[in-house]
Amino acid sequence: MNLIDVAKDTMKIEAEAILSAAEKIGENILNAIDIIINCKGRVVVTGMGKSGIIGKKIAATMSSTGTPAIFLHPAEGVHGDLGVITKDDCVIAISNSGETDEIISILPTIKMLGISIISIVGNVNSTLAKKSDCVFDGSVVREACTLNLAPTASTTVSLAIGDAIAVALIEKKGFKKEDFAFFHPSGSLGKRLLVKVSDLYHTGEKLPKIKIGSKVAESIFEMTSKGFGCTTVIDEKGLLYGILTDGDLRRGLQRFSNIFEMKVEEVCSKNPKTIDRDELAVKALRIMEERSITSLIVVDNEGKPEGIIHIHDILKKGIA
């Protein structure tokens, strides 16, 4: 058989299996959401073999979207790990047959704790289904495996049902992208929504600064030693007066023959764009891109420069 056709048929079989499972979703999704929402503890997901791998992914998805969840290996559960389950938890059990020995073995303890069981099964008349408070029918006509043996379509359906529960929980809880970023601080979205200017800016002795009345020649040393290609210009009260950049110097050289003897306030750019230390770094990046500049001055509530942030600081952090 053409291997391209095999690959395509595999995906079609799994897609059709998911669509079939979707048609079986009804009041059970509302029941499952109520169980999880009213659960004071965590969602404990369990499954054996390939179902266990799917269970780990479901638990990970829930945890990353605001629903505390852990995975419990049922075989380890009967040897002591059942201690992780408390009376405040609820359980999602995954078994295609609904008769997996390891899962059936831990059901008595779970029932003794009086906690609710949500099951994803391929047989709604199975032992697991009968002992569950909420049942999802994950049965498939056949596996995508050409031998109809390896769990393929059935595990895909289980994963899709788990995702359906997780996404429904997102809607029920009003989970926002800011919440998602909180659980993914190292991810691209997390960095964009969590990293502030204050996390990246240079302050103290690293801030280039020169007073009005100083000669342009003096400012060059400050610009060079601090390495930002610019320096803040402050007045006698320490307030930000302007900014002197490499560009200002180049333009000044074209206009004035004695630029190095001139005072910085005669050459600098006045009323430069600034940013607050508590603003997000991604906002600073956006301002720099819009204005085609490489640095922004950070000022305090009084208008005094307290730091500087460079575009490279933001990009190196992975914010774009």
* Tally of CB atoms within 10 A around 118: 25
Q: What was the pLDDT predicted at 198?
A: 94
Residues of the chain with CATH 3.10.580.10: 197-316
Q: Which CATH number fits domain 197-316: 3.40.50.300, 2.50.20.10, 3.10.450.30, 3.10.580.10?
A: 3.10.580.10
Q: Which CATH number fits domain 3-175: 1.10.3720.10, 3.40.1410.10, 3.40.50.10490, 3.60.110.10?
A: 3.40.50.10490
Q: Measured between alpha carbons, how far is 36 from 18 in angstroms, rounded to an integer?
A: 23
Q: At a CB cut-off of 8 Å and minimum separation 6, what does 85 contact? A: 44, 72, 91, 109, 110, 113, 115
Q: Measured between alpha carbons, how far is 308 from 283 in angstroms, rounded to an integer?
A: 14
Tens-binned pLDDT, residue by residue, of the chain (320 aa): 699 999 999 999 999 999 999 999 999 999 999 999 999 999 999 999 999 999 999 999 999 888 999 999 999 988 888 889 999 999 999 999 999 999 999 999 999 999 999 999 999 999 999 999 999 999 999 999 989 989 999 999 999 999 999 999 999 988 887 767 666 666 666 677 788 999 999 999 999 999 999 999 999 889 989 989 899 999 999 999 999 999 999 999 998 889 999 999 999 999 899 999 999 999 999 999 998 999 999 999 999 999 999 999 998 888 87
Is the Cβ–Cβ distance between 289 and 260 less than 8 Å?
A: no
| pTM for this model (two decimals) | 0.70
Residues of the chain with CATH 3.40.50.10490: 3-175
Is the Cβ–Cβ distance between 34 and 151 less than 8 Å?
A: no
Q: What was the pLDDT predicted at 184?
A: 62
Q: What was the pLDDT predicted at 159?
A: 98
Q: At residue 120, what are phi and psi to the nearest 5 degrees?
A: -120, 110
